[in-house]
């Protein structure tokens, strides 16, 4: 079992995970007001793969990624879609499960919904009122920020730089502009509400996560994660709520950098598409996963056709390696090459270096560099027996399907693919989407590339 270290946003230091403890990880999931974009996929991939790596090392990891299905943005988007907010949120939640399912990485251990956690949310707010950290006002409940001395410790902001980003109408109900809402009274234009001791209403976003994390992982857990855009106010407020209520809460705060759109125009024809589902259709799941781990998780990552084409090329390089070296031809080097070589590392030492990189603040680019070094050495005949090491490495980052032998698609699938091309040419995108689903049911993923559409076995 390796010692695994993670950079903690709160202390700025590397923190070692306790191998004796369950490693509970709570990562903030999407607010389901639209289809998710590739930026939302980054924390999903980073935390799914971190949990996978920890388990492979023998840690007891438990990953929770929530779904925020009660939120201002959902009411607004549902109104625009002329749909009841509940049904709209259900539809978008299903789309999120489908899109992230197509990444082929499995599911988190728990995916709680805010709508299913109302009891825990109300209980937590009750505790805060009883302790003097929150107050009811006009059917709303607010957190009394100045009652929590450690407020601001995560984001290191002065109070002048703190804007809770709440609607102007709530200002008159607050004791202090710094305070933020835990519960909001039902409004005329909202088509759902829940009962509470303070009247019908709905929870604020921040308290939803404090309550869902506690419900799934208990009052104290190892890692709280999410995008760096959530540090303030969302995570600052989660700390205030949970710690003021006497919970120890997260021991390490782990934030991923943002995906940055290129300066070019966003368009499908440019390949500069931003929705996860579209990116998966165009580039395939392996390239999307490879792209999302191509930079260190804490750094921003540039998105656009260039980086995606590079990811396609990298995954093809690995696929070709398995095509050439699997089966009878397993990349055996001659005895002279094995002895002499050019002093290259053995497959075993590359594999160890790969795992060491992941244990060192989950450094995926450094880990993947080991994969490509070993692939290059094997292709040049400098090492033998590289196939199993490369297979173990790519499986750890969710790319094990690159090692699978391809079969021909067969008549039915090829005929459907041709029909889909005709439908697209006729701009009948509804039919084209139907055919993509039919092909998926047959076990094929359609991948659109510059050379036309092709069929790839689904993960």
Contacting positions for Zn ion (CB under 5 A): 28, 209
In the bound complex, what is the minimum distance in angstroms from residue 154's beta carbon to Zn ion? 13
For residues 228, 102, 261, 266, the Cα torsion angle rounded to the nearest 10 degrees is: -150
- Which token pair is 323? 């095509």
For Zn ion, the closer of residues 250 and 318 by Cβ is 250
Q: Could you tell me the smallest distance in angstroms from the CB atom of residue 282 to Zn ion?
A: 30
Nearer to Zn ion, 209 or 378 (CB): 209
Q: Of the two residues 220 and 346, which places its CB atom closer to Zn ion in the complex?
A: 220
User: At closest approach, how far in Å is the CB of 454 from Zn ion?
Assistant: 39
Query: Whose Cβ is closer to Zn ion: residue 209's or residue 446's?
Result: 209
How many C-beta neighbours within 10 Å does residue 406 have? 11
* Region for residue 104 given its phi and psi (left: phi exceeds 0; alpha: psi -120 to 50; beta: otherwise): left
The nearest distance, CB 209 to Zn ion, in angstroms, is 3
Please, which residue, 54 or 209, has the CB nearer to Zn ion?
Answer: 209
**Smallest distance from the beta carbon of 81 to Zn ion, in angstroms?**
24
C-beta of 222 vs 357, nearer to Zn ion? 222
- Taking the least distance from each CB to Zn ion, the nearer of 104 and 112 is 112
CB of 162 to Zn ion, least distance (A): 18
Q: Which is nearer to Zn ion, 57 or 216 (CB)?
A: 216
Residues near 17 by Cβ (< 8 Å), separated by ≥ 6?
Answer: 3, 4, 5, 6, 23, 54, 59, 222, 223, 252
Q: Is residue 455 within 8 Å of 444, Cβ to Cβ? A: yes
If the CB atoms of residues 209 and 308 are measured against Zn ion, the closer one turns out to be 209
Please check whether residue 222 is in contact with residue 27, taking contact to mean a CB–CB distance below 8 angstroms: no
């Amino acid at each position: 079992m390796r010692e695994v270290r993670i950079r903690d946003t709160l202390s700025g230091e590397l923190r070692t995970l306790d191998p004796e403890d369950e490693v509970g990880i709570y990562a903030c999931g999407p607010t389901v007001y639209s289809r998710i974009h590739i930026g939302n996929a980054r924390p999903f991939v980073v935390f799914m793969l971190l949990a996978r790596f920890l388990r492979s090392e023998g840690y007891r990891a438990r990953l929770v990624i929530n779904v925020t299905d009660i939120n201002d943005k959902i009411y607004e988007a549902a109104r625009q879609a002329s749909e009841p907010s509940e049904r709209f949120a259900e539809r978008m939640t299903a789309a999120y499960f489908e899109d992230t399912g197509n990444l082929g990485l499995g599911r988190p251990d728990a995916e709680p919904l805010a709508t299913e956690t109302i009891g825990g949310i109300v209980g937590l707010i009750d505790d805060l009122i009883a302790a003097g950290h929150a107050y009811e006002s006009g059917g709303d409940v607010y957190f009394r920020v100045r009652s929590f001395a450690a407020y601001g410790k995560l984001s290191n902001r002065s109070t002048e730089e703190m804007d809770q980003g709440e609607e102007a109408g709530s200002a008159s109900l607050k004791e202090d502009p710094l305070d933020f809402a835990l519960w909001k009274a039902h409004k005329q234009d909202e088509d759902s509400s829940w009962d509470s001791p303070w009247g019908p209403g709905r929870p604020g976003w921040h308290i939803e996560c404090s309550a869902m994390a506690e419900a799934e992982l208990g009052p104290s857990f190892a890692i709280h994660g999410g995008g760096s855009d959530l540090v303030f106010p969302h995570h600052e407020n989660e700390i205030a709520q949970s710690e003021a209520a006497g919970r120890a809460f997260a021991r390490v705060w782990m934030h991923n950098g943002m995906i940055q759109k290129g300066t070019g125009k966003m368009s499908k024809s440019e390949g500069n598409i931003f929705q996860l589902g579209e990116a998966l259709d165009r580039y395939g799941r392996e390239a999307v996963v490879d792209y999302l781990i191509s930079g260190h998780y804490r750094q921003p990552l540039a998105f656009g056709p260039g980086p995606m084409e590079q990811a396609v090329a990298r995954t093809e390089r690995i696929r070709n390696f398995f095509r050439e070296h699997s089966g009878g031809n397993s990349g055996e080097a001659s005895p002279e090459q094995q002895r002499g070589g050019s002093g290259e590392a053995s497959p075993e030492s590359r594999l160890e270096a790969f795992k060491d990189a992941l244990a060192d603040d989950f450094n995926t680019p450094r880990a993947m560099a080991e994969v490509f070094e070993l692939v290059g050495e094997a292709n040049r005949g400098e090492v033998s027996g590289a196939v199993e090491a490369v297979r173990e490495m790519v499986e750890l980052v969710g790319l094990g399907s690159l090692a699978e032998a391809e079969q021909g698609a067969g008549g039915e699938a090829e005929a459907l693919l041709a029909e889909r091309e005709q439908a697209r040419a006729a701009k009948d995108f509804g039919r084209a989407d139907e055919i993509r689903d039919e092909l998926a049911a047959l076990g094929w993923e359609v991948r659109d590339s510059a050379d036309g559409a092709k069929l790839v076995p689904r993960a």
